[in-house]
Amino acid sequence: MSEQDYSFWDHLDELRKHLLRAFIVFFILFIVLFNFRSFLFDTFLLSLLHEDFITYQWIASLGKFLNLSSISSPEIGFSLINTKLSGQFMAHISVSALVAAIISFPYLVYQLWRFIKPALYKREKKIIRTNAFIIVLLFLLGASFAFLIITPLSVLFLGNYQVSQAVTNTITLSSYLQVFSTSILLTGLMFELPVMLRILVFIGITTVEGLKKYRKHAIVAGLILSAIITPTTDPFTMLLVALPVYFLFEISIIFTRKKQQNDGKDNI
């Protein structure tokens, strides 16, 4: 059967096959990772609670470089507890699924690429293939940014924040895990903003001039988006997310404008 003879249900069935392959890879990774509990928790999830974590070392080095005694090696002033009977087991499942999702994300994009590839012309295949690589790269950059910057600074600030010396912080494992996983996944998705805006310009919903005109609106939208992404409502964490959102917005304008200029030269 040729591509033109495919019905809607044929395409849907084909999409199901590709998604099923991606899910199988995810599930295999989940099973494998589930057996590496020490790596998942001590090396990955709970590494932010170690005072020698790389981000905290950067902060200490910055304090020494600027000769600021107020900036020193951070101290973790709280401890984690588990308050539910199945809490640690469910945390084990959640972290295994989180890491499996991050690792299998490139394969998911690859399967989606294989699904749409037969319907594309040669030039379109090259464009989509490049964008697929950018999508994976941006997601991994966003997840890394959350792991190294947003999450540790949020944990450090919120975990050590006290309204009174009489009130000590004892954080539940589920609360910590929620902040950790939410910030990593949603920040990874947030970093797809340049691709999303490029698509909107490509299909004619907006233009580069329109994006430049609504820069002020982008700032407000960035703050709203950061409030949605961050699991907390403190301005410190929101600012950590809002600044990259606006930076990505400006990057989107630059690269989309260059793409339009190159397309214009190709058509001459």
What pLDDT sits at residue 50? 87
Position 253 confidence tier, pLDDT thresholds 50, 70, 90: confident
Among candidate residues 254, 192, 198, the one with its CA nearest the CA of residue 225: 192
Global confidence as pTM: 0.82
Taking 90 as the threshold, does the pLDDT of residue 65 lie above it?
Answer: no
Above pLDDT 90, what percent of the chain?
A: 32
* CA pair distance 113, 117, nearest whole angstrom: 6
Contacts of 267 by beta carbon, 8 Å cutoff, 6+ apart? none
For 216, the 3-state DSSP assignment is helix
Whether the pLDDT of residue 9 is over 60: the answer is yes
**Res 268: pLDDT:** 41
Q: What percent of the chain has pLDDT over 70?
A: 87
pLDDT digits (tens, 9 = 90+) for 178-208: 989 988 998 898 888 888 877 777 767 777 7
Going by pLDDT thresholds of 50, 70 and 90, the confidence category of residue 72 is low
Position 229 confidence tier, pLDDT thresholds 50, 70, 90: low
Cα dihedral sign, 121-126-130-136: positive
CA distances to 95, 104, 208, 256 from 260, rounded to whole Å, are: 42, 32, 9, 6
